[in-house]
Chain A
Amino acid sequence: MLITGIKSRPVYDRLTPFPEALLHLVVGQGSGGTAMSRLIAEIAPGADIEVMYSTESFTGQNHLAALKDAAPGRFDWFASNAALSQALHDRLSQAFMGTRLYLAGSESFIGLAMKVARQFDLNADEVLREHCGSLVRRVWCVHCDTYSENITQRVFSCSGCGKPLVVRDHYSRLMGAFMGVQGDAEVPGELPEASELDT
Chain B
Amino acid sequence: MNAGSSVGLIPVIVTQVEDVSPGVRLLRLSPEDGHYLPGFSGGSHITVGIDLDGDIHLRNAYSLMSSPYDTSHYEIAVRRMDSGRGGSRFMHRLREGDRLGVSSPVNLFPIQIHGKLHIFVAGGIGITPLFPQLEELERAGAAFEAHVSCRTSEDATLAHRLSGRFGSNINIRYTSETGRQDFAAILSRRPLGSHVYICGPSAMIADVRSTARALGWSNSHVHYEQFVEQKTGKAFDLKLARSGLTLRVPAQVSPLEVLEANGISIPYLCRGGACGQCETRILQSDCGIEHNDVWLSESVKACNSHFMPCISRADGGVLVIDL
Residues of A within 8 A of B213 (CB): 20
Residue of B nearest to A125 (CB): B218
In the complex, which of the residues B187, B189, B213 has the most CB atoms of chain A within 10 Å of its own CB atom?
Answer: B189
Using A92-B192, A98-B217, A99-B216 as known contacts, list a sample of 17 further A-B pairs with CB atoms less than 8 Å apart, ordered by residue number in A: A20-B213, A95-B191, A96-B189, A96-B190, A96-B191, A97-B189, A97-B194, A97-B215, A97-B216, A97-B221, A98-B215, A119-B193, A121-B115, A121-B192, A125-B218, A126-B218, A126-B220
Q: Does B112 contact A (CB under 8 A)?
A: yes
A22's contact among B112, B114, B216, B220, by CB below 8 Å, is which?
A: B216
How does the 8 Å CB contact mask read for B106-127 relative to A, with 1 for contact and 0 for none? 0000001011100000000000
Residue pair B192, A120 in contact (C-beta under 8 Å): yes
Instruction: Report the 5 A-B pairs with minimum CB-CB distance, sorted nearest first.
Output: A98-B216, A121-B193, A123-B220, A125-B218, A22-B216
Count residues of chain B with CB under 8 A from any CB of chain A: 20
A122's contact among B187, B189, B193, by CB below 8 Å, is which?
A: B193
Residues of B within 8 A of A20 (CB): 213, 216, 218
* A95-152 interface with B by 8 A CB criterion: 95-100, 118-126
Q: How many A-B residue pairs have CB under 8 A?
A: 54
B191's contact among A21, A97, A100, A124, by CB below 8 Å, is which?
A: A97
Residue pair A121, B189 in contact (C-beta under 8 Å): no
Chain A interface mostly:
loop
* A57-107 interface with B by 8 A CB criterion: 92-93, 95-100
Residue pair B215, A22 in contact (C-beta under 8 Å): yes
How does the 8 Å CB contact mask read for B137-148 relative to A, with 1 for contact and 0 for none? 000000000000
> Given the complex of chains A and B, what is the CA–CA distance between A124 and B114 in angstroms?
14
Residues of B within 8 A of A100 (CB): 216
Residues of B within 8 A of A119 (CB): 193
Residues of B within 8 A of A118 (CB): 114
> Given the complex of chains A and B, what is the CA–CA distance between A66 and B192 in angstroms?
30
Q: Does B83 contact A (CB under 8 A)?
A: no
* B205-239 interface with A by 8 A CB criterion: 213, 215-221
A125-B219, A126-B218 as given contacts; A97 in contact with B190, CB under 8 Å = yes
> Given the complex of chains A and B, what is the CA–CA distance between A122 and B195 in angstroms?
11
* Least CB distance, B93 to chain A, in whole angstroms: 45
Residue pair B191, A123 in contact (C-beta under 8 Å): no
Residues of A within 8 A of B217 (CB): 97-98
Residue of A nearest to B194 (CB): A97
* Least CB distance, B197 to chain A, in whole angstroms: 14
Residue of A nearest to B191 (CB): A96
Residue pair B190, A121 in contact (C-beta under 8 Å): no
> Given the complex of chains A and B, what is the CA–CA distance between A122 and B191 in angstroms?
12
> Given the complex of chains A and B, what is the CA–CA distance between A100 and B189 in angstroms?
14
